[in-house]
Amino acid sequence: MTEIPEHLLKRAQAAKEKASGPAESAGSDAGAAASASRIPEHLLERSRAAKAGGSAQESGGGAVAVADAPGGLIAAAPLAGGVPMGAGPGGNTQRLLTVVKSGSIQEVKATPVDKVHTWPHLLAAEFVASLACLTFVFLFSIWVNAPLLELANSNATPNPSKAPWYFLGLQELLTMFHPMIAGVTIPGVALIVLIFAPYIDKNPSNKPEDRKFATSLMTVHLMFWAVFTIIGSFFRGPGFNFVLPWVDGMFFHL
């Protein structure tokens, strides 16, 4: 047998107690019982007809009569064995129409998502990371001297004359292409492709195996620029000619 939920049992008990008071005071008055239990009139008429028919047949034995139960419920009169017809285990005559799961009537306040607010979740972490980097650079600059060269001499041009390491990729491109192509066209196209990359690859996944286009694009960009920077730093000697650092030495200063 299906177990009746506790809140339904409490509700039925409260209805019984509420209906029993007016019913007992009114005795057998049908109008008072109807007003207390609020049973529809057609059900009361059916109950009275069943009572009349049942009382006439009770003398014959074995017949079933229908009577008013406390709380406005219609219950079958007991048979010869003393148990009402249609009663469940223990003689319970209540009928459970349906059981509503508690989860289905609960109001959902918000749908779980895999996103968080920019503030404070993201910006707080970025602020802490920036403070950590600033602290490291500050302490590093106190304990380690910057590798500065001597004062510049306008009458003596160093050979090789190299740009800072972060511009050596562009200087390496100048040895292969026209300055307009090496300094404007190629870097401009690379930046435009990186800007439009999020609009080309709209995959929301965070897994590298699902972002093959974005991973390949960034890998090619980094490797392309890293190779030119390494060549310009370690494989260019006097006159910006190609040299082997393990043969001719290294012509590179930070």
Neighbouring-strand partners of residue 212: none
On whether the CB atoms of residues 149 and 253 are closer than 8 A, the answer is yes
Q: Terminal CA-to-CA distance of the chain, rounded, Å?
A: 85
Question: Is the pLDDT score of 72 beyond 50?
Answer: no
- The pLDDT score that the predictor gives to residue 101 is 60
Give the span between the Cα atoms of 44 and 72, in whole angstroms.
10
**Other beta carbons within 10 Å of 184:** 11
Return the pLDDT at 252: 80
CA pair distance 251, 253, nearest whole angstrom = 7
What are the residue ranges spanned by the domains of the chain?
6-102, 116-148, 157-254
pLDDT tens digit sequence for 31-54:
544 454 567 787 788 888 888 876
As a whole-number percent, the residues of the chain with pLDDT over 90 amount to: 17
Region 63-74: mean pLDDT is 45
C-alpha torsion angle, residues 147, 151, 157, 159 (rounded to 10) = -20
For residues 171 and 191, what is the distance between their CA atoms, to the nearest angstrom?
18
What element of type H or E holds 41?
Answer: helix 41-57
**pLDDT score, position 228:** 92
Has residue 254 got a pLDDT over 90? no
Predicted local distance difference test score (pLDDT) of residue 127: 95
Residue, of 20 and 80, whose pLDDT is higher: 20
Polymer length of the chain: 254
Whole-angstrom distance, CA of residue 68 vs CA of residue 66: 7
Strands 73-76 and 66-69: antiparallel
Among 61, 40, 35, 63, smallest CA distance to 51 is for: 63
Write the class of the CATH domain 157-254. Answer: mainly alpha
Query: What percentage of the chain has pLDDT greater than the value 70?
Result: 68
Confidence band (pLDDT; 50, 70, 90) for 99?
A: low
Query: In terms of pLDDT, which residue wins out, 130 or 27?
Result: 130
Average pLDDT over residues 14-31: 63
List 236's β-bridge partners, or say none: 242
Q: What average pLDDT score do residues 15-43 get?
A: 62
